[in-house]
Amino acid sequence: MKQWCCLWGFICLCLMTTAQDNPGPGQALQAGRLKKGLYRSFREFRENNPSESGDLVIKSRSTAAQIYLLASRNELVLRDAAGQEQKVKNYWGFCDGTNIYIKDNGLNRIQAFGYYCTYELQGVQPARSAYNPADMTVNAMNTPVRLKKVINIVSGEILELSLYNLKKYILPQDPALLEEFRNDKAKRDKLDYYISRFNERNKPPQSGQ
């Protein structure tokens, strides 16, 4: 009996060690302090392992620049020892040590981690001019643009958080939640709720599975 208990304890220890050596995708992001630096690839982001560091700074662009230059709302620059700034190109994302930003028409902060990480793409687009009868002037009305997206922590696939994508690609992985979604008459206003519920109920597979 004593020998059997020792053998069982050894097996459990081996299983625990294997699980630690092969963490599931994205676990490193939540297991400890985020590492500051530049992600050159999705894999570096998923493993919380930026390959480059330095004095990296996010700089915002004005509304005028976004509209008339068709530019994103911000950009990432690298400052050298003399204070000179150089625009960073060809990268996947950036971590400032507290938050992670994905490069998608500018840098957008990841708001929630899980099987599907979420972020919101923001920008400004010009709208039609509006006439003000009080002073007989014509003013341009700038329209803010917001679009919620999700990143699959296993594959790196990015999707718009929409009714169609929830029904077609995400929730079919959880039949019970998909059924709840189909029967919910207010689901159009509950997209964040369903992606959050999916993340709570489903964990990414361990590496190698």
Q: Quick one: pLDDT band at residue 12, thresholds 50, 70, 90? A: very low
Residue matched to tokens 């709720």: 193
Q: Quick one: pLDDT band at residue 10, thresholds 50, 70, 90? A: very low
Q: Quick one: pLDDT band at residue 101, thresholds 50, 70, 90? A: very high
Q: Quick one: pLDDT band at residue 32, thresholds 50, 70, 90? A: low
Q: Is the pLDDT of residue 183 over 60?
A: yes
Residue 33's pLDDT is what? 80
More confident call, 43 vs 1: 43
- Binning the chain into helix, strand and coil, the percentages to the nearest 5 are 35, 35, 35
Q: Quick one: pLDDT band at residue 1, thresholds 50, 70, 90? A: low
Reading the block at residue 85, the tokens are 């700034």
More confident call, 133 vs 188: 188
Its pTM stands at 0.73
Mean pLDDT score, 125-148? 59
Percentage of the chain lying above the pLDDT 70 cut: 67
DSSP 41: S
Range with lowest mean pLDDT among 22-31, 86-95, 144-153: 22-31
Range with lowest mean pLDDT among 29-33, 69-73, 118-122: 69-73
- Alpha-carbon distance 51 to 37, whole Å? 7
